[in-house]
Amino acid sequence: MARKFDGGKLVIATHNSGKVVEIADLLAPFGADLVSAGKLGLPEPEETGSSFIANAELKALAATKGSGFPALADDSGLVVPTLGGDPGIYSARWAGPSKNFQSAMRKVEDGLRGEKDRTSRFVSALTLAWPDGHTVSVEGTVRGELTWPPRGDRGFGYDPVFVPVGYDITFGEMDPVEKHQISHRADAFRKLVDLCLKS
């Protein structure tokens, strides 16, 4: 059920600096006082959910419980149908404890070797949670194709191998302002704005 966020402090429930920047940019017009879970020293909960939304809810609830403030969590990843949907909810785990996305991108490419179908999509689930346990969750997507070798040093994660539909450049090459207009996170965020942030 929808609930309006009425401003004040909001915890971005992540330790990923790239996500913090993207989410902060998307939230800039709403005047929230943002702080990341990493800055607050909150532990990262184990992601035991079986879907993007389940993991986003888990992270948002952990952050709101640990901080006493509303919290916004994102769980996102790359879904490749030819790989049976992998890496999917395990996208970050494919990069290992050291967050080596060069290795993760190579693993995806190795799995696609010889395959003609390189379609893929990024998925982002966003959950806004309040200290009383109420949550609002949405999901957004952006479709594209995978390319190799990686191109561009903007963005993070799998961005350098993802070319969105209608473009000939990767998210890794794209100006962040343009990416924020078409990304999976932007798609999810528009839905969340309609439910929780519009007055």
With 70 as the cut, is the pLDDT of residue 199 above it? no
Assigned domain for 38 exists:
yes
Number of domains observed in the structure of the chain: 1
Share of the chain above pLDDT 70, in %: 99
Assigned domain for 4 exists:
no
**Arithmetic mean of pLDDT, 1-10:** 84
**Arithmetic mean of pLDDT, 89-105:** 94
Assigned domain for 67 exists:
yes
**Arithmetic mean of pLDDT, 163-181:** 95
CATH number at residue 187: 3.90.950.10
Assigned domain for 183 exists:
yes
Give residue 161's pLDDT: 98
* Structural domain containing residue 52: 9-197
**Arithmetic mean of pLDDT, 96-115:** 95
149 confidence band (pLDDT: 50, 70, 90): very high
Assigned domain for 101 exists:
yes
pTM of the model: 0.89
Q: Can you spell out the DSSP letters for 9-73?
A: EEEE--S-HHHHHHHHHHHGGGT-EEEEHHHHTPPPPP---SSHHHHHHHHHHHHHHHHSS-EEE
**Arithmetic mean of pLDDT, 57-77:** 96
Q: How many CB atoms lie within 10 A of CB 29?
A: 9
The DSSP element (H or E) to which 103 belongs, if any, is helix 101-112
Per-residue pLDDT tens over the stretch 7-41: 789 999 998 888 888 888 888 888 789 999 999 99
Average pLDDT across the chain, whole number: 93
194 catalytic? Reply is no
122 confidence band (pLDDT: 50, 70, 90): very high
What gap in Å lies between CA 107 and CA 102, rounded to an integer? 9
Assigned domain for 2 exists:
no
CA 37 to mean position of chain CA atoms: 15
Assigned domain for 3 exists:
no
Assigned domain for 27 exists:
yes
With 70 as the cut, is the pLDDT of residue 198 above it? no
Q: Which of 74, 75, 159, 187 is catalytic?
A: 75
Give residue 73's pLDDT: 95
